[in-house]
Structure 1
């Protein structure tokens, strides 16, 4: 099993209430119903006020690296990833569980 974690830090001048940020977050809604390789899917806005905190996070689970590759190249994922890259920086971690 592969755990896929992504943290998003909104760019300078972009807030959670920005329509682009709201659209990007909404783009993740239902992604697990579009991509059967997603075994678990959790995402949401961070509420921690700490300076080191990121703004949005996603946590997902895949059976193996092949399933993760299918997800990474799926058109629905590619579209929402492009929205996020336009407004935020990302850090990613993939590890075996």
Structure 2
């Protein structure tokens, strides 16, 4: 199994509508991209995430599935939204 974690920080001026659209777009990847085993995304509520306001978790069967996800057009479209709406992000991929 491979887990893909992304922590990101929304810009201060992002509207609630744009935040909802981004989260809906991220969550839609579960159905749009083949080989996604599990996917969740949401806003941090604990205040323990430092500068990061949101997170994405995606699970795959193997590294090849992650590689396919990374180049899928639906994923690339969401990455464009992330680039427009965030101040930064950190990504961690690991096998278990």
Q: TM-score range by the shorter chain?
A: 0.7 to 0.9
The 5 A counterparts of 1:19-38 are 19-38=17-36
The 5 A counterparts of 1:1-97 are 1-11=1-11, 13-15=12-14, 17=16, 19-50=17-48, 52=50, 54-88=52-86, 89-97=88-96
Listed as ranges, the gaps of 5+ residues in structure 2 are: none
Normalised to the residue count of structure 2, the TM-score between the two structures is: 0.86
User: Given that residues 21 and 84 in structure 1 are in contact (C-alpha distance below 8 angstroms), is that contact kept between their aligned partners in structure 2?
Assistant: no
Structure 1 segments of 4 or more deviating over 3 A? none
**Root-mean-square deviation (CA), in Å?**
1.8
Listed as ranges, the gaps of 5+ residues in structure 1 are: none
